[in-house]
Structure 1
């Protein structure tokens, strides 16, 4: 849980998740989601401290899960597969439930959000896997 690989993967993934999240949802999604927002619930100015804390917690959880899931087989391919499974669970599963229960986006908006989540989690999974690959042999 607190291995060198896990802690380093957590730190690197936190940085990647923060920057990639900003690029995907903070910049790209702004124009992509135009016309698909049903009810605008988003803050005018996000609280970056809590975004970083959320990314840190998520990165720690993902790194722990990846370490158990990969079973010592660390590669970009393994990381991408791991990220795709996480995106299916957290991205598409959540998007469909939110579409059924809330007025945030139309269906197209939720599906576009899933595509962004897929990119986000695949890249994060690859980063975590590569950190594990570089550090686990030395432990």
Structure 2
């Protein structure tokens, strides 16, 4: 669980989550979802320390799960598949639950958010897989 591959994937994955989250939701998502937001629950200024810690913890969970899921077969394809499933779970599954139980966004907004989540986790999955692949090769040498 605290292998070199997992810790490095956690660090780089956490940084990628932080940056990519800003690009997808802070820039692209805001312009795509403007009319679909029903109740604006966003803070004016995010708490960046807790935001980064959340990204780091999420990256650790994803990296740990990926390490068990991939069973030593590390490639961009494996990471993309893993990331897509996480994105479907978080974006589509949880998005529909949020739609059914809250008034944050209309259905279109949640579906746009689901697509953004799938793209986000697909890319994070690829990053984590490539780190595992590069660090496992060094260990085999």
TM bin, normalised by shorter chain, reads over 0.9
TM-score relative to the length of structure 1: 0.98
**1:1-139 aligned within 5 A:** 1-139=1-139
Cα RMSD (Å) of the superposition?
A: 0.6
Q: Which has the higher helix share?
A: 2
SS at the partner of 1:138? helix
Shift of 1:68: 0.2
Deviations 1:47-67 (A, max 9, x none): 111110000000000000000
Shift of 1:5: 0.4
Unaligned runs of 5+ in 2: none
Would you identify which runs of 4 or more consecutive aligned residues in structure 1 move more than 2 Å? none
Deviations 1:22-78 (A, max 9, x none): 000111111111110011111111111111000000000000000000000000000
